[in-house]
Structure 1
Amino acid sequence: MQVIKPVGREAAAKKYDILSAMMAHALAGDQNAQRLVLRLMALITTRYNWQRNELVMGQREIARLWCVDERTVKRDMARLKGLGWITVKKQGARGRVSVLGIDLERIMLDTRPAWPNIGEDYVARVGGVEEVADRTVVPFRRPDPLPAEGLWGRARAMLSGEDGALYDAWFSGLVDGGVEAGCLTLLAPSRFHATYIRTHLMARLQVAVRRCDPVVSAVRIEAPS
């Protein structure tokens, strides 16, 4: 999948593509999903800074925009963070609200099943080959080990389904090191492999693991000594 970055001369069109994906995803879901996505779209279209990837808005302001109470805001923002659609860039302190970010790549991954509802031209435009974070780096392709059991097995299946090429290049070589104190340890085949995943792919990896088991809140990548 091509990562859409709403910058440059075609920024406006790319923003519409992202919002269209969210709309199609919502319409294909139930009423709860539709409401949640609509509320996020309201934040994006009114207060989101696309260039800086920043959303700075207090719960009281959000409640007023959504026409709900602050308890509903806390609940739905927690759901959006759990999905990985919203991230905390800077935690609020001393009366200042948190600076939030929106993971557009995660949103496009999750909405992809609904893209055909928009049209073949849309799928062709946004569904190309994904660009790995650093194109100057040539990833080492590792043979896939035996299918893992348990949590990592489920997370591997999710990552493979999202992007087979990226999975083959980077995630397939990770070996399950077990779960302890809410943290999944994964063993990388080399230091370079571990460093690249920590730098470029940790967010995607953590989302997959949390969706498979919400109790596991952290992922650690270990490299050979």
Structure 2
Amino acid sequence: MHIVKPARPRDAARKYDIITALGAYALARDKHDQRLVLRLITLITARYNWARDELAVGQREIARLWSVDERTVKREMAKLRGKGWLVVKRQGARGRVTEYGMDLDRMLAMTEGDWSNVGPDFDLRMSGKTEETPVVSLPLKGDVPPPDVSAGTEWVLAQAILHAEAPDVYGSWLRNLERVGRAGGRLTLKAPSRFHGTYVQTHLARRVLAACQAVDSDVTDVGIVV
């Protein structure tokens, strides 16, 4: 299966996606793997330079961050290299710490089996799968008017994009989604029924997220509630 390589490591959305993939992978495994991945996530969040693909931290500092001794750090870093997630870019020497990079392709390949646990929208986004079933438009009377964008929220602006792209799909499935709220990068929308929400989540999640990110790049996820 083709896996989409994160093309823009500086993009905050991709950072969250990678960390989410690691978390989902860990939670599907035993406590030892969970602890290892938690330590990696903490190290990435605190010290990884996404722009340069560089992790340059001394063992003593990692030990303090993880609340362990340096022997544990050596063992855990060896495990991460063994998985192929961390790659030595420059070996440490006197007065210089070892520099690591992350093999994102390897990381995503190993976590792929757990993407669906996050949700179908995440699975589609990460794998680059196409929506196999075409979206069915409902019978509509007359032309579908564009949304009123005077409120200026990310959702009404995204709706304007979705209307311009496909008025019939917008009129059938997207104009009745109401903005519930926003928590960080997660936007929550309310569907008029469970069937409606499930249909949008299954068939239109990627399209909705792309439209939201087009008007607000800080949106990393869109949730549908009833």
Instruction: Please give the range of the TM-score, normalised by the shorter of the 2 chains.
Output: 0.5 to 0.7
Residues 123-170 of structure 1 show CA distances to partners (whole Å, capped at 9, x for unaligned) of 1111017xxxxxxxxxxxxxxxxxxxxxxxxxxxxxxxxxxxxxxxxx
Distance 1:86 1:7, change over 3 A: closer
1:4 is the counterpart of 2:6: yes
Aligned residue in 2 for 1:42: 42
Aligned to 2:96: 96
How much has 1:5 moved relative to structure 2? 3.0
Q: Alpha-carbon deviation of 1:47?
A: 0.4
Distance 2:65 2:9 in 1: 27
Question: Offset of 1:105 from its aligned partner?
Answer: 1.2
Q: Do structure 1's residue 53 and structure 2's residue 53 form an aligned pair?
A: yes
Shift of 1:7: 3.5
Mapped to 2, the partners of 1:25 and 1:87 lie a distance apart of: 20
| SS in structure 2 at match of 1:105 | helix
The structure whose Rg is larger is 2
Alignment of 1:26-175 (within 5 A): 26-128=26-128
What TM-score do you get using the length of structure 1 for normalisation? 0.55
Match of 1:17 in 2: 17
Instruction: Find the aligned partners of 1:79 and 1:116 in 2 and give their Cα distance.
Output: 25
Structure 1 residue 46: Cα displacement: 0.3
Deviation of 1:18 after TM superposition, in Å, equals: 0.4
Moved over 2 A (4+): 5-8
Structure 1 residues 73-104: Cα deviation after superposition (integer angstroms, max 9, x where no partner): 00000000011000100011122101111111
Counterparts in 2 of 1:61 and 1:72: CA distance versus 1, 3 Å: same
Q: CA deviation at 1:4?
A: 1.5
Answer yes or no: is the 8 Å Cα contact 1:63–1:70 preserved in 2: yes
Distance change in 2, residues 1:101/1:119 (3 Å): same
Could you tell me which residue of structure 1 aligns to residue 224 of structure 2? none
Q: d(CA) in 2 for partners of 1:42 and 1:96?
A: 22
Residue ranges of structure 1 left out of the alignment (5+ in a row): 130-225
Mapped to 1, the partners of 2:95 and 2:27 lie a distance apart of: 37
- TM-score normalised by structure 2 residue count: 0.55
| Structure 2 SS opposite 1:88 | strand
Q: Answer whether contact 1:28 1:114 (CA < 8 A) is retained.
A: yes
Measure the CA separation in 1 of the matches of 2:22 and 2:7: 15
Q: Identify unmatched segments of 5+ residues in structure 2.
A: 130-226
2 CA distance for matches of 1:49 and 1:92? 18
Once the two structures are aligned, what percentage of the paired residues are identical? Answer: 57
What is the alpha-carbon distance in structure 2 between the residues aligned to residue 7 and residue 84 of structure 1? 18
**Structure 1 residue 6: deviation in Å?**
3.6
C-alpha separation in 2, matches of 1:72 and 1:94: 21
Equivalent pairs counted in the alignment come to: 127
Q: Distance in 2 between matches of 1:7 and 1:70?
A: 30
